[in-house]
């Protein structure tokens, strides 16, 4: 892989993207939007201690140091609370010390960006206790996701219930891949009931989420969006209202049966 010069011109900025929102630490270095080097390491109990070592190794492999980075990007969630804090704190520390821009990208945006062309894209990312984070997007002419509804955390079935009105849909994310059978069952039922005439497709995500984060952050930079440390905050998605009511026993057994379907 071609190494970067230690002093890249301002017209070809070096960007470092960090994602610690899941069980994988994902890092990526790009120059002028092109991937130079990336890595993905499984989480261990010393993530906060090893993150700098991993970043330093990644930069050295590209012939760089942290001082050569012009832009920083970080995944702001949703995801694991502890992991998010580690990644965001590191990115803010680097950007503040260097006086460089910092861009936040959600895990749902990054996942949607991996879908490629599509009429509509729904990101489905594993949450906790069998639940998923989900959000519907369209993709603009540059492949950047545009939110079409609010992000939520719910059961997989409730996440799909929000998008059953869409006939042509791309589903992407680890939760989509793991629930392929459930998607096939639902679409079959919808076709039998005359509710779906188009096609739902499952696309596999790039295992290096940091690459998508870097790409979206670079698009924000090119659009002259403000990338400030103060503007980056963790994204903690709330449960859907129906899920909250169900947990409190305010919804009937019919809703509960739907919720328990695969």
Q: Tell me: the pLDDT tens digits for 197-231?
A: 778 899 888 888 999 999 999 999 999 998 999 99
Specify the residue for token string 């012939």: 63
For each of the chain's 262 residues, which pLDDT tens digit applies? 333 334 444 578 999 999 999 889 999 999 999 999 999 988 666 777 889 999 999 999 999 999 999 999 999 999 998 899 999 999 999 999 999 999 999 999 999 998 876 679 999 999 988 899 999 999 988 889 999 999 999 999 899 989 988 988 999 999 999 999 988 888 888 888 887 777 889 988 888 899 999 999 999 999 999 899 999 999 998 765 555 555 555 554 443 443 444 4
| Predicted structure pTM score | 0.85
| DSSP, res 120 | -
Structure tokens belonging to residue 54: 């991993």
Of the candidates 202, 181, 219, the residue with the CA atom closest to the CA atom of residue 13: 219
Of the candidates 88, 258, 83, 76, the residue with the CA atom closest to the CA atom of residue 161: 258
Q: State how far the Cα of 5 lies from the Cα of 171, in Å rounded to an integer.
A: 39
CA angle 118, 124, 127 (to 5 degrees): 165
Cβ of 204: how many Cβ atoms within 10 Å? 12
Q: What is the pLDDT of residue 246?
A: 54
Residue ranges and CATH numbers for the domains of the chain are 14-107+207-222 (3.30.420.40), 115-203 (3.30.420.40)
Q: Tell me: the pLDDT tens digits for 131-143?
A: 999 999 999 888 8
């Amino acid at each position: 892989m071609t190494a970067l010069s230690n002093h890249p011109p301002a017209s070809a900025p070096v960007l470092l993207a960090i994602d610690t929102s899941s069980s994988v630490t994902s890092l990526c270095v790009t120059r002028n939007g092109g991937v130079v080097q990336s890595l993905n390491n499984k989480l261990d109990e010393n993530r906060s201690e090893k993150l700098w070592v991993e970043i330093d190794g990644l930069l050295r492999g590209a012939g760089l140091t942290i001082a050569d980075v012009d832009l920083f990007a970080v995944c702001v969630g949703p995801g694991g609370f502890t992991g998010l804090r580690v990644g965001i704190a590191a990115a803010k520390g680097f950007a503040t010390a260097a006086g460089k821009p910092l861009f936040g990208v959600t895990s749902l945006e990054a996942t949607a960006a991996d879908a490629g062309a599509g009429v509509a894209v729904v990101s489905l990312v594993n949450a906790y206790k069998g639940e998923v984070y989900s959000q519907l997007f369209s993709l603009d002419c540059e492949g950047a996701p545009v939110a079409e509804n609010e992000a939520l955390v719910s059961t997989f079935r409730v996440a799909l219930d929000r998008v059953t009105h869409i006939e042509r849909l791309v589903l992407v994310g680890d939760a989509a891949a793991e629930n392929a059978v459930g998607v096939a069952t639902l679409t079959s039922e919808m076709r039998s009931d005359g509710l779906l005439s188009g096609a739902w497709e499952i696309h596999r995500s790039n295992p290096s989420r940091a690459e998508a984060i870097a790409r979206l952050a670079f698009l924000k930079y090119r659009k002259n969006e403000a990338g400030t440390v103060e503007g980056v905050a963790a994204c903690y998605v709330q449960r859907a209202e129906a899920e909250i009511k169900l947990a409190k026993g305010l919804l009937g057994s019919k809703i509960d049966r739907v919720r328990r379907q695969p």
